[in-house]
Amino acid sequence: MAIPAACILLIAASNPPGSLWDSEFGGYDALSYHLQLPQEWLIAGQLAPLEHNVYSFLPGYMESAYLHIAALTAAPTSASPGEGYGLMAGDGWRVLSCQWLHAGMTLMAAWIIGGLTRQLARGAGIEPQRERLAGSVAAGLTLATPWVVVVGSLAYNEMALLALGAGALSTLLSTGTKAPLRAAVCGALVGVACGAKPTAMFMVTPVAGLLLGAVIPRRAWVSALAAAAIAGLVALSPWLIRNTLHGGNPIFPFATDVLGSAHWTAEQVERYARAHHFDGTLFDRLRLAVWTNPHADPAARAVERFRGTTNPQWGLFFPAVVIAGASLVLVQLRGWMRKDRQPTIVAVLLGGLIAQLLAWMFLTHIQSRFLLPCLLTGAPLVGIACAQLPWLRVSAWAAPLLVAGQVVATVW
């Protein structure tokens, strides 16, 4: 059912950046740093912080992959006047290759989320036939979500976060492997996810922590947490070392008041903080989460007016998540589920989703796209809820109908 969305994803990824998606201002972020940084690193002959572009001080693991595309294809570092160089050389096919890499990660993320949902359903005691249904719904819902198609077709970094985050959670559910090893692999994957996009620190780590506590015996918690923390730090160490050597602050541009502001003046520190932080009240945050931005022009584009869960590019996702979460809680209360593991699985997913929403409201500057990691918790909730409908025949038509509705939202 999600095949039309996949086709739109790949067609969109075949268009030059800047030509599509008004909701992303024509892929402004890709043009200003996701693709611009690899271009400048290629010319400089090294991957290093650039003092004129603050985003070069972020880990940049996805941007380094785009740099590798340029290096592996022997992209020229100079050109005659009027001709492109680096990623823009020739007819710009390397730029499209970057977009296709991210689009490929989108397909991979949907596939891994589907597999993760099957594991969660299995742990919840759902029978195999319904377990497959749960995974298919979660994967289809993920791929058919309009925000996924928009972001996945651009040379961004969110899909790396989704794929790695889902892989990290899936690792914790693997059987036949000792707890510390599972935790170490999970920590390494979460660390790389943070390297792709630092918001994974508070959008993926809490979910992984909750799942770790649920599936790993208490006696192994200390060793598992230590293994995960060490592996995560090792995965992030290239960034930490690079920033420390350049400006003394390993996590610059964060914590500048404690670890130093590197080459920045006090005015630059204040300007960055103002641009990447939301200063509204709790009511303002809650309103943006579920309704319109009161300060936006009524004629402005939807991405400016709807900055939370009601943005049109979420389609049916969040309404489906609310219905799924409520139905699973009711089913649990009525005793339709197995009494041992399923309540734990549902509690982890609901708790993880709540933690993500709180982090989004208080740790970001509240943009709808930053809610994409909620697919890691919301899609499995919907998949498991569809699989838990009392009659399999109802599940068989309700699940495809949901995915089809999301596809319509994407096409629309």
Domain carrying residue 375: 3-411
Residue among 377, 395, 356 nearest 137 (CA): 395
Q: At what angle do helices 128-144 and 375-387 cross, to 10 degrees?
A: 140
pLDDT of the residue at 234: 98
How far is CA 124 from its chain centroid? 25
Q: Look at residue 354 in the predicted model and tell me its pLDDT.
A: 97
Please give the backbone phi and psi of residue 199, each rounded to the nearest 5 degrees, phi first.
-65, -15
Name the nearest CA neighbour of 59 among 49, 51, 69, 72: 49
* pTM attached to this predicted model: 0.93
pLDDT of residue 339: 52
Query: What confidence score (pLDDT) does residue 33 get?
Result: 92
* Direct distance between the N- and C-terminal alpha carbons of the chain, in angstroms, rounded to an integer: 16
**What is the reported pLDDT for 240?**
97
> Which pLDDT score is estimated for 410?
64
Assess contact for 342 and 332: CB atoms under 8 A: yes
Comparing CA positions, the residue from 116, 152, 122, 102 lying closest to residue 2 is 152
Residue 1: predicted pLDDT: 66
Q: What is the pLDDT of residue 274?
A: 84
Residues ≥6 apart with Cβ < 8 Å to 401: none
Q: Which residue has the tokens 């961004």?
A: 156
Per-residue pLDDT of the chain (412 residues; tens, 9 = 90+): 678 889 999 999 999 998 888 888 878 899 999 999 999 999 999 999 999 999 999 999 999 999 999 999 999 988 778 788 889 988 889 999 999 999 999 999 999 999 999 999 988 888 888 889 899 999 999 999 999 999 999 999 999 999 999 999 999 998 888 999 999 999 999 999 999 999 999 999 999 999 999 999 999 999 999 999 999 999 999 999 999 999 899 999 999 989 999 999 999 999 998 888 888 888 888 888 888 877 777 777 777 788 889 998 998 999 999 999 998 888 777 665 555 555 688 999 999 999 999 999 999 988 999 999 999 999 999 999 988 876 555 556 666 767 667 667 666 5
* pLDDT on residue 280: 80
Q: Which of 5, 352, 376 is nearest to 209 (CA)?
A: 352
What total number of domains does the chain contain? 1
Look at the chain and count its residues.
412
Which of 357, 407, 409, 412 lies closest to 4 in space, CA to CA? 407
